[in-house]
Structure 1
Amino acid sequence: MKKVLIITYYWPPAGGPGVQRWLKFVKYLRHFGVEPVVYAPENPSYPIIDKSFESEIPDGVKVIKKKIFEPYSIAGLFSKKETETISSGIISKEENQSAMQKAMLYIRGNFFIPDARNFWVKPSVSFLREELKNGDYDAIITTGPPHSLHLIGLKLKEELGINWVADFRDPWTRIGYHEKLKLTDSSRKKHEELEKSVLNTADHIITTSFTTRDEFNSKTSKPVTVITNGFDAEISREEPENDKFELAHIGSLLSERNPAQLWKAIGELIQENKEFANNFRLRLAGKISEAVLDIISENAIQPYLENEGYVSHAKALELQRSASVLLLIEIDSEETKGIIPGKLFEYLAAKRPILAIGPENWDVERIITRTGAGEMYNYGDINGIKSYILRQFQKYQQKDLLSNSHNIADYHRKTLTEKLANLIKNL
């Protein structure tokens, strides 16, 4: 059996999508002849906690932990709200940023390269050097963000020559928030140099999207493989039971993940169609920015809103399956067309129609088209968005909302883990 060391920042009790990818890989790797060992921080600063994930760690899996110096814990002494906001990725537009947030973004971008977990690199390399020498490992895997973890892999590769796989859940220099970090020219160059070193030193690179794969293929000759995120639940076979026609978004809505035409379309349908208004509900679950809530109010949707706040993963799955239509929204920019939200795959398993709104040539459209799970629109297409919602409302009235999607099983976590295990065995 192959043995791998997985170096990750996010591990239970962390909540959110960042923890799920490698928790689920660890869950299934033994099925395919790979023994996982996990290395994670002992004292992390997680923006979201979900203790329900702890029960999913397989029995007997070795988890090594080491303390980390967390700048966010110190920053929180000065402004806890700003610290939590930045660490969770909710960054206001330039004109709406407070002086404190502007200062913290500048410090984060230029003094902590590639990110605020860079203080973990040197002590981790020293600590893991001995673990790897004595533990008979076949490979190491680093997963980012935070991309500083790839620097741990880089140093260990250079020192020990061990097989190394670098997993990118998000891009590095082209990640959506990178331009908001107020980078100086020298800081930007440093990010690019570090990214280049990682891409050209790792034995194999994994991405979660096709766009990031293509980007990395233009930067390195090393093999790059797409292994998307997935779902780990039974595929729903039942019509949703709900007293309302419910549009639901499960997950964070950032300030810029906020399609004005969607909210306008809903507001118009409420005003124009009395039957729709009497049966409609909008449900949001997750961290929601004030900018999103403001525009919902401006379009007179507030009376129809159920704002759940953050919910456990188990509750999130429940809400997905009780919805009539599931909303999938991404920031409308060139940098985000390669982001495939993890919730997409759970949406697929829920078998509810998906209304996706995002940038042109978004990778999500490729998956939705392949599975027939819904439709994708650009931000400005109010007529298309409005027409789709109305068609689904008519299906709701006919009790015909179970999606006729196909090829869903390809995105089960176990199927994806088999692909990962074969990659490891072929290093």
Structure 2
Amino acid sequence: MKKKALIITYYWPPAGGPGVQRWLKFVKYLSEFDVEPIVYIPENPNYPLVDESLTSEIPDNITILKQPIKEPYKLAGIFSKKSSKTISKGIISDYKKQSFIEKVMLYIRGNFFIPDARIGWVKPSVAYLSKYISDNSIETIITTGPPHSLHLIGLQLKKGLGVKWLADFRDPWTTIGYHKQLKLTNASKEKHKTLEKQVLNTADHIIVTSFTTKKEFQAITNQPIEVITNGYDYEPASVVKLDSKFSIAHIGSLLSKRNPKILWQVLSDLIKERDDFSKDFELNFVGAVSKNVLESIKNNNLSNYINEVGYVSHKEAIKYQKKSQTLLLIEIDSEDTKCIIPGKLFEYMASNRPIIAMGPEDSDVEKIIKETNTGTYFNYNDYDSLKRSILESYKAFLNKSLQSHPIGLQKYSRKNLTQQLAEIIKKQEPSDYQV
């Protein structure tokens, strides 16, 4: 008999972007490991990105529960539709370039909606799910965040019903990079830390996507913590013709803080120094790009070499990954981002194209890239080694020998990762916890 697991998530098809991929893929494979997933989602969400193609991956035989949610971003859009949309995507301008409206919206978002703008969904969800869980003999619930307010649903259900609760953190909570941009008061910061501590010490099992986050959480709780990274799914075999130019492609959002000026300088210098590189080079952005990044590119005389594709469906993004000569992965140069492992990294690795990655020293991304031999990793001050590596890749491109030589990717397949998750779910025994 399959064990039932109620999954509480905000992002679900037709939502686009990386947030939806993790649990869509888990749900796709859980039934193969004797777990019956039941998914609870908002009925009327405000998704900043939409990808209708992902709906085809939802299994036909699963139960999906929906309840209405009050979305403050919709109300905020009355005052500034543009600012509301960009903030909901996570694109926050540098302080000096923020409009008055954007500053006000960030202050309100940070201090009136703790832990996030979906806090209003907690109370009605607890009321609805309490009855559903009791009526359907659900023994295990799973919350996934961000938005971290969903963990408060799990917290209250755990206290009220005594169900087993797994809290999944796709990103950290109080140390996530954008917290510093939300204009939090000291009282708001303390409230975040208090809620984080309550969640981490009440959940029966904590799941994180990175090794650094696990270490961070171990300083807050003694509850068991498991690392289950994001991963890649098997795609139907297809012959994709590589770009004729020496293309470097970045897939996904390129936020204002992800702006490696040293890379733009390296590319600009190579263009000046080599006529052949100047004729062959192309920089493709597949996803939203902040104004700050575009300004830096312009300042380095690279504007004529970029191709802004914009947001595309996940299937289209996979095609861009497979046809690009090299793939670019950039993380903010900060101590706080060492734990961030973008979901696209694993799809990059499975695409068999060499990766150029940049970020903080000793990051989890650096460890995975070196372990799998899927690319090269650089810090933000590695001008010489970065330039040398790109030039070597370009020469391999000219010789038609530019390719990746990955090793040990199997453990990052979505199916293998789901098996890991299923084993944790099945270990959860009925609880006698009482309020």
TM-score, length-scaled by structure 2: 0.97
- Contact 2:332–2:360, Cα closer than 8 Å, also in 1: yes
Aligned position for 1:24: 25
Matched letter for residue 215 of structure 1: E
Alignment of 1:297-312 (within 5 A): 297-312=298-313
- Which shows bigger deviation, 298-307 or 149-158? 298-307
- Contact 1:240–1:324, Cα closer than 8 Å, also in 2: no
Taking the aligned partners of 1:188 and 1:280, their CA distance within structure 2 comes to 46
Matched letter for residue 140 of structure 2: A
Aligned position for 2:433: none
Aligned position for 1:378: 379
What do residues 160-208 of structure 1 show as CA deviations (whole Å, max 9, x unaligned)?
Answer: 0100000000000000100111111111110000000000000000000
- Contact 1:269–1:277, Cα closer than 8 Å, also in 2: yes
Are residues 109 and 413 of structure 1, via their aligned partners in 2, closer, same or farther at CA, if it must alter by over 3 Å? same
Aligned position for 1:223: 224
Alignment of 1:389-400 (within 5 A): 389-400=390-401
Taking the aligned partners of 1:200 and 1:401, their CA distance within structure 2 comes to 49
Taking the aligned partners of 1:225 and 1:68, their CA distance within structure 2 comes to 31
Aligned position for 1:153: 154
What do residues 61-97 of structure 1 show as CA deviations (whole Å, max 9, x unaligned)?
Answer: 1100000011110000110100011111111111111
Taking the aligned partners of 1:252 and 1:114, their CA distance within structure 2 comes to 23
Taking the aligned partners of 1:14 and 1:69, their CA distance within structure 2 comes to 17
Are residues 235 and 266 of structure 1, via their aligned partners in 2, closer, same or farther at CA, if it must alter by over 3 Å? farther
Aligned position for 1:57: 58
Aligned position for 1:12: 13
Aligned position for 2:432: none
Taking the aligned partners of 2:307 and 2:410, their CA distance within structure 1 comes to 32
- Contact 1:234–1:349, Cα closer than 8 Å, also in 2: no
Is 1:38–2:31 an aligned residue pair? Answer: no
Aligned position for 1:188: 189
How many Å apart are 1:296 and its aligned residue? 1.0
How many Å apart are 1:237 and its aligned residue? 9.5
Are residues 166 and 344 of structure 1, via their aligned partners in 2, closer, same or farther at CA, if it must alter by over 3 Å? same
Aligned position for 1:138: 139
Matched letter for residue 337 of structure 2: T
Alignment of 1:20-419 (within 5 A): 20-234=21-235, 241-419=242-420
- Contact 1:239–1:399, Cα closer than 8 Å, also in 2: no
Tell me, what secondary structure is at the counterpart of 2:12? coil
Tell me, what secondary structure is at the counterpart of 1:140? strand
Matched letter for residue 348 of structure 1: M
Taking the aligned partners of 2:241 and 2:143, their CA distance within structure 1 comes to 39
Aligned position for 2:431: none
How many Å apart are 1:362 and its aligned residue? 1.2
- Contact 2:165–2:205, Cα closer than 8 Å, also in 1: yes
Matched letter for residue 226 of structure 1: V
- Which shows bigger deviation, 382-391 or 66-75? 382-391
Matched letter for residue 369 of structure 1: K
Taking the aligned partners of 1:62 and 1:239, their CA distance within structure 2 comes to 36
Question: What is the aligned-residue identity percentage?
Answer: 57
How many Å apart are 1:238 and its aligned residue? 7.2
Taking the aligned partners of 1:308 and 1:223, their CA distance within structure 2 comes to 43
TM-score, length-scaled by structure 1: 0.98
Are residues 269 and 239 of structure 1, via their aligned partners in 2, closer, same or farther at CA, if it must alter by over 3 Å? farther
Matched letter for residue 102 of structure 1: K
Taking the aligned partners of 1:229 and 1:251, their CA distance within structure 2 comes to 15
What do residues 313-356 of structure 1 show as CA deviations (whole Å, max 9, x unaligned)?
Answer: 01100000000110000011111110000000000110111100
Which structure 2 segments of 5+ residues have no match? 429-435
Stretches (4+) displaced over 3 A:
234-240
Taking the aligned partners of 1:396 and 1:409, their CA distance within structure 2 comes to 27
- Contact 2:240–2:319, Cα closer than 8 Å, also in 1: no
How many Å apart are 1:236 and its aligned residue? 7.5
- Contact 1:244–1:281, Cα closer than 8 Å, also in 2: yes
How many Å apart are 1:235 and its aligned residue? 9.0
How many Å apart are 1:241 and its aligned residue? 2.1
Tell me, what secondary structure is at the counterpart of 1:219? coil
Matched letter for residue 209 of structure 1: S
Matched letter for residue 330 of structure 2: I
What do residues 112-152 of structure 1 show as CA deviations (whole Å, max 9, x unaligned)?
Answer: 00001000000000000000001121200000000000000
How many Å apart are 1:310 and its aligned residue? 0.5
Taking the aligned partners of 1:221 and 1:321, their CA distance within structure 2 comes to 42
Number of aligned residues: 427
- Contact 1:28–1:417, Cα closer than 8 Å, also in 2: yes
Cα RMSD (Å): 1.2
